[in-house]
Amino acid sequence: MNFSIVITGAPYSTQAPYSAWRFAKAALENGHNIYRVFLHGDGVLCASNLHTSAQDELNINQLWNDLAKQHKLDIVVCITSALKRGLLDEAESKRHNKKHFNVSPLMELSGLGQLVDAVNHSDRLITFGN
């Protein structure tokens, strides 16, 4: 089965990103495909490379980065949600004359068209959020 996942809940204030990660990991281990992961709303906070967890907590951001790297996942970060929350990739930081950027290089800033594309190419769209 071909899945796409939407995450709208923030890491550490909701279970959404961790539940989505567990679902994606289980689906991949059982031979299914993840077409795309789309981060929207507060879910875009999963894309920050600057997030640091306490030593006794799971690092949700790192879990997603590791899964993306291991399975070559297409993780798209809603550009509008990201910019509103201070998340920039290198190109957007230059475009907005900012000195720094913080979006994981394993993730891509893009628009809602990527979500529509995911719906069209997936058997199921699963949403995790509040």
- Between CA 110 and CA 121 the distance in angstroms is 17
Q: What percent of the chain has pLDDT over 90?
A: 88
Say what the pTM is. 0.94
Domain ranges of the chain: 2-128
Is position 78 annotated as part of the catalytic site? Answer: yes
pLDDT exceeds cutoff 90 at 109: yes
Residue-wise pLDDT tens digits, 30-45 = 999 999 999 999 999 9
According to the model, what pLDDT value does residue 30 have? 97
According to the model, what pLDDT value does residue 56 have? 84
Give me the catalytic one of 27, 39, 47, 78.
78
| pLDDT confidence band for 22 (50 / 70 / 90) | very high
Whole-Å CA distances, 44 to 2, 29, 31, 47, 123: 22, 25, 27, 6, 24
pLDDT exceeds cutoff 90 at 118: yes
Q: What is the C-alpha R_g of the chain?
A: 14
CATH topology of domain 2-128: Hypothetical Protein Ychn; Chain: A, (3.40.1260)
